[in-house]
Amino acid sequence: MQVWYSVKMHFYGQHEPERMPVSYELLNKWEAWKRMGCKASEMESAALFIAASHLRVRCGSNFLVVGNQERNALGMENPIVHDTEAAITVAVEAIRKLIKADREK
């Protein structure tokens, strides 16, 4: 399964794009990502992916969706989640799978 998400180098433009000098560009990009089926937008992984690429090592990201501004904008239920247990479980299992795959090579 392929899941799209965007990695970006800005924060405030996402949360208040209409206040930015290039609001039209930010809003158009946001709409484009939504139309492509983007499931997450975050900026912390950008530096990790760049460093991993330079070092020629693997790198991944694991997300906890605290809230969903798109559901909120549509008036849908938008539960706020702070429990990190599921994300930790996913990360540990992913590392186990990588170790197993490496051993089978």
30 vs 6: CA distance, rounded Å: 10
pLDDT at 3 over 60: no
Domain positions in the chain are: 1-58, 62-105
User: So what's the pLDDT on residue 45?
Assistant: 84
24 vs 69: CA distance, rounded Å: 19
pTM: 0.62
Q: Confidence class of residue 4 from pLDDT cuts 50, 70 and 90? A: low
What average pLDDT is seen over the chain? 84
User: So what's the pLDDT on residue 85?
Assistant: 96
Closest Cα partner for 17 from 3, 34, 5, 39? Answer: 34
User: So what's the pLDDT on residue 90?
Assistant: 96
Read off the pLDDT of residues 88-104 as tens digits, 9 standing for 90 and up: 999 999 999 999 999 99
